[in-house]
Amino acid sequence: SGLFQVAMDMNYNCSYPGLGYAFYWMTLDMSYGSSQNSAPQTPAPLKGPTQGSAAKLLSYTTTSKDEDGDQLYFTFDWGDGASTKTPLSASSMAMANHIWKRKGTYQVKAMATDSNGDSSGWSEPFSVSIGGSSTVNSPPNKPSTPAGISNGLAGMSYAFIGYATDPNRDALFYTFDWGDGQTTNTDLRTAGLSARASHAWPEAGVYSVRVKATDSSAESPWSAAKRVTIKKDPSQRVSQLMEKLSQELSRKRADLLRSAKGLAEA
């Protein structure tokens, strides 16, 4: 498919005795080759730790190449029934993290898929031996009060940061409670790193924002609450007033038209 522009010269200087007109026609045949998408190459053998402990975060990388230059996403199969898909990216390298909950030996592999939906084969299995945790798991410590704004406008999105420590230095994910019945869970974060989440309150009010941290098997207490006051956006009020005015004008115009019609028929 595509856009084609055709130019040609034709000679209409001809005559036919006894005919007042003549018909002309032509046939134009065009053909063009069709391109076929190529699947990405099978990913290279994974790189990462060959040993680890249960409930500990491990990271792995791999690479692939697409002959058509398409964007790729990667699927990591962790050998325990779980898998991870990376975001679609122009990069030929991908990284993913995983936590195995039980000790054992797992075969990890990866597959690349291009933006057209064509997938490579699976990479060679990469063996990872997971031992039992050497320490008894302890829950994360109580997070600090979430950091973020104290005053804002309804409908605007605001970011908050949560931070907690873990006695076992386990990876953590955070749960933010926004005080309006909504919560947000973050991605798993390496021990010692904070987490960020955003929220928009649709209505004005005073809200209490708090956060808790969770490792592979235990969660912390909720943090102290951050008080956030949300006010109506003045621009939204102006917009609502304009809409109300427009509806009122439309109603009055309809009334006037009905009155005029009644006078005309009288």
60 lies in which domain range?
51-131
Residue 2 covered by a domain:
no
Could you identify the residue written with the tokens 């990913």? Answer: 43
- For 176, other C-beta atoms within 10 Å of its C-beta total 26
List, for residues 59-81, the tens digit of each pLDDT value.
999 999 999 999 999 999 999 99
State yes or no: pLDDT of 1 exceeds 50: no
* 127, 155: one domain: no
The pairing of strands 183-185 and 126-131 is unpaired
List, for residues 80-104, the tens digit of each pLDDT value.
999 999 999 999 999 999 999 888 9
Residues 6+ apart with CB under 8 A from 199: 157, 158, 160, 176, 178, 182, 184, 209
List, for residues 201-224, the tens digit of each pLDDT value.
999 999 999 999 999 888 999 999
The DSSP secondary-structure symbol of 248 reads H
Predicted TM-score (pTM) of the model is 0.46
List, for residues 98-153, the tens digit of each pLDDT value.
999 888 999 999 999 999 999 999 999 999 999 876 567 789 999 999 999 999 99
* 173, 111: one domain: no
The total of structural domains in the chain comes to 2
> CATH number, domain at 76?
2.60.40.10
Contact present, 37 and 69 (Cβ < 8 Å): no
